[in-house]
A and B are shown apart, each in its own frame.
Chain A
Amino acid sequence: GENVEQHPSTLSVQEGDSAVIKCTYSDSASNYFPWYKQELGKRPQLIIDIRSNVGEKKDQRIAVTLNKTAKHFSLHITETQPEDSAVYFCAASGGTSYGKLTFGQGTILTVHP
């Protein structure tokens, strides 16, 4: 089955700085890669996603890049704000695990004012 590794496990930045979280996946047939933000006790919220036929996608301060050859994808948050503080999860789906999401271990992002 699919295996997703996520780094770093914690990330601390100053307000206004950029934050980058990286994930690698094992199943070359996976074709859908969402990123979620989860606040304590709440459901995961989709913040951006990318499909395997696209190399990069951007939505205001958030961007995701995908390198299919290397099987890794990254989340980039620019101009971070304290409200960006949360746990972020990457996930992969498709391929042999059709429809099922395999999550990374999560990254605790703290943005200091």
Chain B
Amino acid sequence: GAVVSQHPSRVICKSGTSVKIECRSLDFQATTMFWYRQFPKQSLMLMATSNEGSKATYEQGVEKDKFLINHASLTLSTLTVTSAHPEDSSFYICSAPLTARVVGKQFFGPGTRLTVL
């Protein structure tokens, strides 16, 4: 099956620093990727849709200047949490559909646990 990787798996940083998370589709091309955030004991909440070659689409309430998304290639999307604060500590997960033409199965990355001190 299709594989999506994420790096790093865990990151601890100081308040005010920026953190970059990478999401890669290893054996397929993904023109679209999705970024989710999951707080402890809560559901996955979609943050933004990453589109290859164009600007990301952010969900209501998600600050685009704080969560920078770049989808520079068909296999890589990056999420940068700028000026991170303790309230940004969460589990960040990306996903990619096998094809953007038909709504269907998505493949999730293993997630990145961000802890901001």
Which chain A residues have a beta carbon within 8 Å of chain B's beta carbons? 31-32, 34, 41-44, 46, 49, 51, 89, 93-94, 98-106
Contacts and interface: CB of A to CB of B under 8 A. Distances in A.
Interface centre among B34, B42, B103, B104 (most CB of A within 10 A): B103
Given A44-B108, A101-B34, A93 B103 contact: yes
Contact of B95 (A32, A101, A102, A104): A101
Interface centre among B45, B91, B108, B110 (most CB of A within 10 A): B108
B25 interface: no
Interface in B38-53: 42-46, 49
A44 B55 CA distance: 27
Given A42-B111, A46-B105, A100 B43 contact: no
A106 B43 contact: yes
A43 B93 CA distance: 7
A105 B44 contact: no
Contact of A100 (B46, B104, B110): B46
Interface residues of B, number: 22
B43 A101 contact: no
Contacts, number: 50
B109 A41 contact: no
B77 interface: no
Please report whether the interface of chain A is mostly helix, strand, loop or mixed according to DSSP.
Answer: strand
Interface string B37-75: 000001111100100000000000000000000000000
Nearest to B107: A46
Contacts of B44: 44, 89, 101, 103
Q: Which 3 A-B pairs have the closest CB atoms?
A: A94-B103, A43-B108, A103-B43
A49 B103 contact: no
5 contacts: A34-B105, A43-B111, A99-B34, A99-B97, A103-B44
B110 A42 contact: yes
A101 B42 CA distance: 15
